[in-house]
Structure 1
Amino acid sequence: MSERKRKTRKWSAEVTQTSDALDLETGVFNSDDPAHIARSLKRSAEQSGRRKSSPFRSAMSMLTFYLNRAGKNLSAARTRKLDAAKVELRKLFGRKPV
């Protein structure tokens, strides 16, 4: 059972490190500033030549992926900051808030 968990964790970590969509800034999801997280994701998405969809979709997908995979291990405060980063990301791309 522990071997299966280890492989799962490695899989999600590998996706955030080697995604075809984005080359992420190291430790971007560890920042305490939602605006910094959003700016970093936007910059990564716009610079990536490997992404298959729009920069907004790529950046939002990576943030959502991180929240979904790490969600059960994140504190409520951390989850709020990452949700706030989604709002900031929408603002940066000129999208309406949900």
Structure 2
Amino acid sequence: MISHAERLRSLMALAVVLQKLGAETRVGSRTPGLEVIVTRTNGKKAGTFVAVDDLRGFFWWKEPHHHPIDDVPGAARALLVFLHDDAAYLGGS
């Protein structure tokens, strides 16, 4: 099982990378998680909540959106692709 401190460290590492890539981030105060918000090319905002599961992975939205915790840059890229993709974001796939 992953400790609360480990979850927060992983989420903070992800937040740093996402911020460098232009996303807004906020760490959850009650639940260990990360709110991620981007501004799309049409000027509208899109966002999701990222958490860390006990299998040592980041996850967001639904089942296919899971990424290994030891690949923070890859997780950041996958999140940004998801948030900028109308079909995935609006369709819930």
**What is the TM-score when the length of structure 2 is the normalising length?**
0.31
In terms of fraction of residues, the more strand-rich structure is 2
**Bigger CA radius of gyration:** 1
| TM-score in terms of structure 1 length | 0.30
- Relative to total residues, which structure has the larger helix share, 1 or 2? 1
